[in-house]
Amino acid sequence: RRFHAGFGVAALPASFVDVSSGIASAVSGLDATESDLVGSGLDDGFSLKLFAGWRPFPEEVFFIQAGYAYFQLDGALEANDVLTLGLIDDLSTAQGWVELNTALHAGELELGFRWSVEDVRFRVSMGLAVVLGSASDVQVDIEGLPAAEARVAETQAAQAVDDGFTGSGVFPSLGFGVAYDLRL
């Protein structure tokens, strides 16, 4: 009973994504404007993970676990916000959107505590996920921007996002779980 394994599904609300992208932006050296855009551009997401863990002391509630995590992050920015980055300099103002979808693959290490009160099980933890790979898709829909330039901007933006995540992709995690033991 000192070993455990499992899987998890989690929602990543905008506030968590904002804090995580802020930390990643700071580590990667983005300036304040770029950092704000990364945070506001990623609205929400979800995570799937597989993990295995171990309690080093049989009488203790402390555990260590490692695993694989998949993060899906989605969002959109208004065209004028994207223009502040300077990637597209032909337009001084624009109408439209830039949509971003990013899939991250990460290794995860977590430390935490598990305990029981009668048949109710509790778990709190904190950890770090290190991005191992990133695959981003950017769709540019800006009025007045020629299609060829939009495709170039999409490719450059997707590469910049992927480089940013893999170059500085360390995400903190906080976990809390409650379960009821049915004793089946």
State pLDDT tens for residues 97-139: 788 888 989 999 999 998 889 999 898 999 988 889 989 888 8
Tokens of 41: 């551009």
Amino acid 158: pLDDT: 81
The Cα 25–Cα 34 span in angstroms is 8
pTM (predicted TM-score):
0.70
The Cα 16–Cα 44 span in angstroms is 8
pLDDT, mean of each 10-residue run, the chain (184 residues)? 87 65 54 56 80 88 94 79 58 71 91 91 91 88 81 81 76 85 82
